[in-house]
């Protein structure tokens, strides 16, 4: 088990192990900026030990377990996550400042995702492939890849893990997880649940630490795939380094997602959807609808409604159920958000509400940013082009559907998008023209275990959840059998 309360060790091969270097660092609670947990800094030797524990377990045990056994453990883990959703949500909110209403429901969603992929574990079917020649018999099987490196960001540690781990385990892989240095606690607590669920030692390993730990995992080799969620800068560095070892990668990166309100939309619902798109999770979500495109005929109506709702958002202690917006998760992120607000003001975007840190009363020690709305933003301003990852909305007017699509697609990113319209024709027409991995129609930030999640362009590549998520962690083996007694021509390929 982990050592003293709130001091966490590394989880390697089913054991809690102190970091070789003895180095530890504090995790800060962004609500009061006080240290509340001590995290181990894993070095290259710790990472190598975790990868070899995962490899040993893969070869000796996990790849040989039946799908039914894997499903049983995964369903037990889902039970435990549901049992502990409240506790785990509270821990995560303490670590990253997200409100408990969100983090607790995320824990339950991850449990749901485990159940979905547990259902796949005993249905990983191959296929018989009919050939041109009848004297050969051919079949292809689906097999696990081996050891997967999972590297995650701080905004939703367990939800991000839940997009990757269930599919990886169901497919028969073992994993080494490196959570963000800004929010590692729930991933370590999750490892305790893995233990309790009865997984063999070495199936799931957790190494904590800063970027150096992530780099050691990527550089060290011994991985069959890397699944990364984080920034474009991190993703590019990892992809380049992984290429040296020919390790394939899945990259879930950032977004600057357009949320488009057409004049024929239900304006009340669309306004709530726009609010949910940017201020839920304090805007610290890759799928944030951070560019709101509104048709000019309903522009003022939407803007006024939105500003009124935003002014009423309750900022407060992330652990209280009535709080609607928590803190920025860490100081660099807080500074980054404020610098984008300053740049939007300098560029001449019209500030409608917010526009500063929030530091009064019980918020005084926390990394709070006011819900901020800029109107009349031009799509070439940095506030509309860069991912801010905070509660800052750029509202952009448009006249025609064609113009809306041009603005929506004029971005380096391509993760999520939203459309608000009551026209069936328009829903399908616009959906097909948007360059994004995901389109929501008359809703936003709705998720399901069954649906593929991921982006195009600078938002990365690969898919999580759904059938596509499962395929990411499997490889195909083809077996061809000669049934004939005849001798072949050794110098010509057989077709």
Binding site for ligand NAD (CB under 6 A): 151-155, 160, 178, 180-181, 210-211, 214-215, 218, 229-231, 234, 237-238, 252-254, 286, 387, 389, 415
Nearest Cα to 167, choosing from 113, 108, 126? 113
Tokens at 456, concatenated:
């195009």
CB closer to ligand NAD, 220 vs 316: 220
- Residue 204, Cα to own-chain centre: how many angstroms? 18
Nearest Cα to 392, choosing from 488, 325, 455? 325
Per the residue annotation, which of 92, 102, 215, 286 is the catalytic one? 286
Least distance to ligand NAD from the beta carbon of 276, Å?
17
Least distance to ligand NAD from the beta carbon of 26, Å?
16
Distance from C-alpha of 56 to C-alpha of 214, rounded to nearest angstrom: 21
CB closer to ligand NAD, 113 vs 180: 180
Element (H, E) at 298: helix 296-311
Nearest Cα to 115, choosing from 76, 83, 87, 148? 76
CB closer to ligand NAD, 239 vs 298: 239
Known catalytic residue at 252: yes
DSSP assignment of 226-273, as one string?
A: EEEES-HHHHHHHHHHHHHTT--EEEE-----EEEE-TTS-HHHHHHH
**What is the number of other CB atoms lying within 10 angstroms of the CB of residue 95?**
29
Least distance to ligand NAD from the beta carbon of 154, Å?
5
Q: CA angle at residue 293 from 292 to 296, to 5 degrees?
A: 130
| Pairing relationship of beta strands 136-144 and 147-151 according to DSSP bridges | unpaired
Least distance to ligand NAD from the beta carbon of 268, Å?
29
Distance from C-alpha of 440 to C-alpha of 420, rounded to nearest angstrom: 9
Per the residue annotation, which of 215, 252, 387, 472 is the catalytic one? 252
CB closer to ligand NAD, 160 vs 419: 160
Place of tokens 């785990």: 88
Least distance to ligand NAD from the beta carbon of 51, Å?
14
Least distance to ligand NAD from the beta carbon of 65, Å?
29
CB closer to ligand NAD, 270 vs 415: 415
CB closer to ligand NAD, 229 vs 317: 229
Using CB positions, name the residue nearest to ligand NAD.
214
Known catalytic residue at 57: no
Tokens at 256, concatenated:
């600057």
Distance from C-alpha of 383 to C-alpha of 403, rounded to nearest angstrom: 19
In this structure, are residues 166 and 109 in contact, taking their beta carbons and an 8 Å threshold? no
CB closer to ligand NAD, 52 vs 229: 229
Tokens at 305, concatenated:
């409604």
CA distances from 195 to 238, 341, 407 (A): 29, 45, 49
Least distance to ligand NAD from the beta carbon of 99, Å?
17
In this structure, are residues 464 and 163 in contact, taking their beta carbons and an 8 Å threshold? yes
Active site residues: 252, 286
């Amino acid at each position: 088990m982990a050592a003293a309360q709130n001091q966490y060790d590394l989880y390697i091969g089913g054991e809690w192990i102190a970091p070789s270097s003895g180095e530890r660092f504090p995790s800060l609670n962004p609500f009061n900026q006080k240290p509340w947990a001590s995290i181990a800094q894993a070095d290259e030797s710790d990472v190598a030990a975790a990868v070899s524990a995962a490899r040993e377990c893969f070869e000796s045990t996990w790849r040989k377990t039946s799908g039914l056994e894997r499903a049983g453990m995964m369903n037990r883990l889902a039970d435990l996550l549901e049992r502990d959703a409240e506790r785990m949500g509270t821990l995560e909110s303490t670590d990253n400042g997200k409100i408990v209403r969100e983090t607790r429901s995320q824990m339950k969603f991850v449990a749901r995702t485990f159940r979905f992929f547990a259902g796949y574990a005993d249905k990983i079917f191959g296929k018989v492939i009919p050939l041109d020649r009848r004297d050969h018999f051919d079949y292809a099987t689906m097999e696990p890849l081996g050891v997967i490196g999972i590297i995650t960001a701080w905004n939703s540690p367990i939800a991000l893990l839940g997009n990757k781990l269930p599919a990886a385990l169901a497919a028969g892989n073992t994993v080494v997880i490196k959570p963000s240095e800004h929010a590692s606690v729930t991933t370590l607590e999750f490892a305790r649940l893995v233990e309790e669920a009865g997984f063999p030692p070495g199936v799931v390993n957790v190494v904590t630490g800063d970027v150096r730990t992530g780099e050691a995992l990527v550089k060290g080799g011994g991985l069959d795939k890397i699944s990364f969620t984080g920034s474009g800068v991190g993703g590019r560095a990892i992809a380049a380094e992984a290429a040296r070892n020919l390790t394939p990668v899945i990259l879930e990166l950032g977004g600057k997602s357009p949320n488009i309100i057409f004049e024929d939309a239900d304006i009340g619902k669309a306004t709530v959807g726009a609010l949910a798109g940017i201020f839920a999770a304090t805007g610290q979500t890759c799928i944030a609808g951070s560019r709101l495109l509104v048709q000019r005929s309903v522009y003022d109506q939407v803007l006024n409604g939105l500003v009124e709702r935003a002014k009423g958002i309750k900022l407060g202690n992330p652990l209280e159920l009535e709080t609607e917006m928590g803190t920025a998760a860490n100081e660099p992120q807080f500074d980054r958000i404020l610098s984008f607000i300053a740049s939007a003001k300098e560029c001449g975007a019209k500030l409608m509400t917010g526009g500063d840190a929030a530091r009064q009363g019980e918020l005084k020690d926390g990394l709070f940013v006011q819900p901020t709305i800029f109107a009349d933003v031009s799509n070439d301003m940095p506030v509309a082009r860069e991912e801010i990852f905070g509660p800052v909305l750029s509202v952009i007017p448009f006249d025609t559907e064609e113009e809306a699509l041009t603005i929506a697609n004029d971005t380096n990113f391509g993760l999520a998008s939203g459309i608000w319209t009551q026209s069936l024709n328009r829903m399908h027409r616009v959906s097909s023209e948007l360059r994004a991995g995901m389109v929501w129609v008359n809703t936003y930030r709705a998720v399901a275990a069954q649906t593929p999640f991921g982006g195009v362009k600078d938002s990365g590549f690969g898919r999580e959840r759904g059938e596509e998520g499962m395929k990411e962690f499997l490889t195909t083996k083809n077996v061809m059998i000669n049934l004939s007694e005849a001798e072949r021509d050794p110098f010509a390929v057989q077709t």
